[in-house]
Chains A and B, each alone.
Chain A
Amino acid sequence: MNRLSSPQELEALRESIVRNRDTRRRCLTICGGTGCLALGAEELIAAFRSEVESRGLISGVDIRVTGCPGFCERGPLVVIEPENILYQRVRPKDVAEIVSETIVSGKIIDRLLYVDPNTGQKAVHESEVPFYKKQLRLLLADNSRIDPNNVNDYIALGGYSALVKAIFKMSPVEVLEEVRKANLRGRGGGGFATARKWQTTRDAEGEPKYVICNCDEGDPGAFMDRSLMEGNPHSAIEGMLIGAYAIGSNEGFIYVRNEYPLAVLHAETAIRQAEECGLLGDNILGSGFSCRISINRGGGAFVCGESTALMASLEGKVGEPRAKYIHTSEKGLWEKPTNLNNVETWANVPLIINKGADWYRQIGTENSKGTKIFSLVGKVNNTGLVEVPMGMTLREIVTDIGGGVPKGKKLKAVQTGGPSGGCIPESMLDIPVDFDELDKVGSMMGSGGMIVMDETNCMVDIARYFISFLEGESCGKCVPCREGLKRMREILTGITEGRGEEEDIERLERLSETLMDSALCGLGQTAPNPVLTSIRYFRDEYQAHIRDKRCPAGVCKALITYSISDKCPGCGLCIKTCPQGAITLVEKKKPVLLDQEKCIKCGACYDVCRLDSVIVK
């Protein structure tokens, strides 16, 4: 790769990449994101490569391994260009057929198409799949157009043109003003105004100044930043460079958790390639502006996603937070002015610079502009990553994009914002999703976790789970978080095990109040959210556990019993499944017998019974 020394050379390179690409040429786009890899994409990619080679098609077919397009539920995903045919749940055994039928003969293979479970309709193209239809994928769409290991793919799509515009045509202040005008708010959790943070860092005394990209996402079930860093690392790097220019910084760090090996690898490759092209490092594109970026791998402590703990960890110290009365934008990394944003926030910056704040402001709500990526998981048909304009209702996201709750179960609540977000009841799902509306109902945007719960989820148990997660991730520095979360977990465990007392709700509320008021960092201050919202919206469930010693959702083992219905035809499937030998056949074609003494309430019989003959109460 030749080092580019002017914007003209970058533009010439882009033109030559595009010119040399035959748009009619077939391209097999295979998702190589972590989700699809877990589903066997690696074998699939190898199978495609060898099939294409053995059939002598190499000169006519490209194979592009991309990042995550978001529809993880249906992975491994393969898209065939230029027609944009989407095949889902593709296995290596399907490869030969895809190559001979679709690639060579241009026929569609019916069984690999997505079928809408609600309408039974088949979708040939990505754009016809309901999961994608309602999304506005300003950031995620490029994930399936780019091989993250090839900077040319990013450049071909106009990559680094926002950087050129910023450093050659705009002053740092103009860049900052554009971001301010766009009203970009931090996607990492707090929703703090990005431009205000940049401004404070810019104005703060002290040199050097640093920019940091936070890719330490640790919420259970959330993977927005991971997918962006895996699928399109240059977008975050370009955003960081533009930010560094606006702030007056020449050094940046990407703090990425080591449990994201693919994100680490792709970020490393992207940095190396950008440096080789002259898009990163000294005298970028001959502009005189220099900025280096290096990677720091986090050890996996959840609390290191908190800015001060992250910076302590980056300095090589124990990852513990400190008070933020003096902001990190004034005294951050090594006591120097430091601006930290997460991956998604940085990735929005090139868009704003390229298309302008006026364009950006048209998307979203009054005080929350642009799109937001959510990780839609839990009891929902289409799990995966979804990117929607701010202001879409929770119901639209869960029902229209997510395809509703599986197995005809009733939707109960949606938990937003990660472990310290709140549980929003079904009755409130028509609220528009933006920073302020979620705050109002006691939850938060957080980094974008969205967990759907149905009638078989016990809200007390959910609260216990999240508190127990946060207790384990508390650094232990301050008393309310360390001792308070432990006590909250004990109380919640007691309730789920039938030892709940009338005063427990009040005890939980009192502890919550103290944590919110007095904990040192955001982890402790927001930890009570799942408890407080579940008490607020599902108090009757707490009372059923405490007063009646009953778990209405049938989850809390100590409070439920399994029994066999009269309708049981004695098929014996449960007998084979029961690990305790608690179920026996009495008579052929008659209900089986469940020995309560031996039953450990594991639920295996319930899961295996196809006739709903196992009853939980």
Chain B
Amino acid sequence: MVTLTIDGKVIEAEEGMMVLDVATAHNIYIPALCAHESVSPYGACRLCLVEVKTGSGRERLVTSCLYPVEEGLEVKTNTERVRRNRQTIIDLLLARCPESEVIQDMARQLGVEKTSYPQEDHGSCILCALCVRACEEVVGVSAISLVNRGVEREMAIPFYDDSNACIGCGSCAYICPTGAIKMEDSGDTRTITMPGNVIEFKLAKCSVCGDYFAPEKQLEYMARKASLEPDFFDRCINCRD
């Protein structure tokens, strides 16, 4: 265990934990868009910047999602310098995704009412890679990725074409912080709408109640992963014992 202070509050934390997680666990709010407890930290949105002073006296700005706690660390989450940087960053994101309510709310909260730059239309995707990380680390199929470099960067399925790897589980839609990926079930079909693609999946029917409950591909994948019979998942969650 190490002892550190966050905004003056003395906190004990387990070695190896990141400052952002420790702050969150102690109800200290640090804004962040690309961090999620289920996936590894990434450091893309840069909103979780904080000022730190290390035990040896070094002072600097760091991204709290990636900075491990250490003995004697002093963290300040809301200094003038931190606020100024966050404002510029959210201003840039607001220009990129002016229609996104999540970004609008975050901007207002950080003191930016309207963007200083010409507005663009990139939908709501902020390229935080939460979907990509969830698909790889949690689901284990890596059906989506971020492609191209710099301003050309975008989220895509392989070759922008129908993705065979995707099992339609919807984890990407669930984890997306801005709702850029949407999922809708209607009748026997699940539709996942991504920034550049729309993919449809056939849903399996519950053998007891007859409701459509999960994509067939997902059930097959789960059964295969767990070495179960292919028809093991034949009923919905409500009809299971």
* Contact of B116 with A507 in the complex, beta carbons under 8 Å: yes
Q: A484-B92, A518-B85 are in contact. Are A323 and B49 (CB under 8 A)?
A: no
Per DSSP, chain A at the interface is helix
Q: Which residues of A contact B93 (CB under 8 A)?
A: 479, 483
* B22 interface residue per 8 A CB criterion: no
Q: Which residues of B contact A476 (CB under 8 A)?
A: 127, 146, 148-153
User: How many angstroms from the CA of A485 to the CA of B153 in the assembled complex?
Assistant: 14
* A598 interface residue per 8 A CB criterion: no
User: How many angstroms from the CA of A514 to the CA of B90 in the assembled complex?
Assistant: 11
Q: Which residues of A contact B149 (CB under 8 A)?
A: 301, 472-476
Chain A 15-50 against B: per-residue CB contact (8 Å), 1 yes, 0 no? 000000000000000000000000000000000000
Q: Which chain A residues in 467-486 approach chain B with CB under 8 Å?
A: 471-480, 482-486
* A358 interface residue per 8 A CB criterion: no
Q: A482-B127, A483-B95 are in contact. Are A520 and B150 (CB under 8 A)?
A: no
Chain A 583-606 against B: per-residue CB contact (8 Å), 1 yes, 0 no? 000000000000000000000000
Q: How many A-B residue pairs have CB under 8 A?
A: 94
Q: Which residue in chain A gives the minimum CB-CB distance to B117?
A: A487
Q: A474-B150, A475-B149, A483-B96 are in contact. Are A514 and B43 (CB under 8 A)?
A: no
Most buried by B among A471, A484, A485, A507: A484
From residue A472, how far is it (CB to closest CB) to chain B in Å? 6
Q: Which chain A residues in 426-476 approach chain B with CB under 8 Å?
A: 471-476
Cβ contact of B66, chosen from A323, A513, A517, A518, cutoff 8 A: A323
* B106 interface residue per 8 A CB criterion: no
* Contact of A325 with B66 in the complex, beta carbons under 8 Å: yes
* B139 interface residue per 8 A CB criterion: no
Q: Which chain B residues in 227-241 approach chain A with CB under 8 Å?
A: none
Q: Which residue in chain A gives the minimum CB-CB distance to B126?
A: A479
Most buried by A among B63, B84, B89, B148: B89
* B9 interface residue per 8 A CB criterion: no
* Contact of A323 with B153 in the complex, beta carbons under 8 Å: no
* A55 interface residue per 8 A CB criterion: no
Q: Which residues of B contact A301 (CB under 8 A)?
A: 149
Q: Which residue in chain A gives the minimum CB-CB distance to B147?
A: A318
- 15 examples of A-B residue contacts, CB within 8 angstroms: A301-B149, A323-B63, A325-B68, A474-B149, A476-B151, A476-B152, A479-B92, A483-B93, A483-B95, A483-B96, A484-B88, A507-B116, A514-B84, A518-B61, A520-B46
**Which B residues form the contact surface with A (CB < 8 A)?**
42-46, 49, 61-63, 66-68, 81, 84-85, 88-89, 92-93, 95-96, 116-118, 126-127, 129, 146, 148-153
Top 5 nearest A-B pairs by Cβ distance? A476-B153, A483-B92, A514-B88, A474-B150, A323-B66
Q: Told that A322-B66, A483-B93 touch, could you supply 8 new A-B pairs with CB distance under 8 A?
A: A476-B146, A478-B44, A479-B46, A483-B92, A485-B150, A490-B118, A518-B46, A520-B44
